[in-house]
Structure 1
Amino acid sequence: MTAIPARELLLDELSKVSRKMRTLFDARVRERGLTLARARTLMRISDGQAVNQKELAEELEIENATLVRLIDGLETQGLIERRAVDTDRRAKQVAMTTAGEAAADLVMEMARGLRRDLLAGIDDADLDVTLDVLRRMAQNIEGSGTA
């Protein structure tokens, strides 16, 4: 039986790991009443600065309508609040509440735990090579003009 070349396997394996990682993290945050999408949103705005909804959608790489649903859910949970933008009454900023800050801290700790679990037994030299390969792949994607 002929071994499948690494160049053919890499993207499939990368996709599998990414999917499993998202599924695992989603399961962990669901235990705390969140979803992966809500957790990602909290992590992004956890720096304490209010952020414009349009910019947040772009940074999370989601449609504005999807973000509105996420924000609605987080607001219902009391984790974020919408604020009017002084210079544009149609625009809204999203800011953390005190409960949201606590939830974001918990999500960040869960993310650290996930990284610890996923990278257990993998030495730093292997991680350095992997990071280099992934960064070059990202550059190739960006250079193709489709990213």
Structure 2
Amino acid sequence: MAHTDHRLGAQVAQLARTWRAELDRRLNHLGLSQARWLVLLHLARQPDAPTQSELAAMVGVECPTLARLLDGLEAQQLVRRVTVAEDRRAKRVELLPQTGEIITRIEAIADQLRSEILANVDQQELEVFQRVLGQMQANLERR
């Protein structure tokens, strides 16, 4: 089945950019760049501390880029890198206890923005939209 609406990709990309930019603006007072709060959220959602290379893949950045981000987060005393006993070249990235409060604030601000964005969106339509996005992602990943 041929789809002729060429705007879809641009609309999805624009929504993602605008959403992330607004969240970044709302989190600015925490002294965290978009890249840094994204790293913190990825870490907070992991049951176990990932290695730097695992975290880089999750966040979608190269290892040297992540290393610079982690340097800054360590300077802010939000994370620490711990040597992996089985492979002394590898480092696991852990959130420090005091980071929990910042994560809670990030998530509260993100939840508020999500509520505003989804205001007046029918729940059933949202569920269909999420299924369609999931199928599109699966189609891309099969390539």
Tell me the TM-score normalized by structure 2.
0.90
Number of residue pairs matched by the alignment: 140
In structure 1, stretches of 5+ residues that fail to align are none
SS in 2 for 1:49: coil
1:119 alignment partner in structure 2: 118
In structure 2, stretches of 5+ residues that fail to align are none
State the alpha-carbon separation in 1 of the partners of residues 116 and 65 from structure 2: 30
Tell me the TM-score normalized by structure 1.
0.88
Displacement of 1:113 after TM fit? 1.4
State the alpha-carbon separation in 2 of the partners of residues 62 and 14 from structure 1: 21
State the alpha-carbon separation in 1 of the partners of residues 107 and 48 from structure 2: 17
State the alpha-carbon separation in 1 of the partners of residues 41 and 125 from structure 2: 27
Superposed structure 1 runs of 4+ greater than 4 Å apart: none
Give the alignment's Cα RMSD to 1 decimal.
Answer: 1.6
SS in 1 for 2:82: strand
SS in 2 for 1:91: strand
Kindly report which structure 2 residues correspond to 1:91-130, keeping only aligned pairs within 5 A, or say none: 91-130=90-129
Percent sequence identity is 34
2:81 alignment partner in structure 1: 82
The residue identity in structure 1 corresponding to 2:100 is: E
Kindly report which structure 2 residues correspond to 1:127-142, keeping only aligned pairs within 5 A, or say none: 127-142=126-141
2:18 alignment partner in structure 1: 20
2:40 alignment partner in structure 1: 42
State the alpha-carbon separation in 2 of the partners of residues 59 and 97 from structure 1: 19
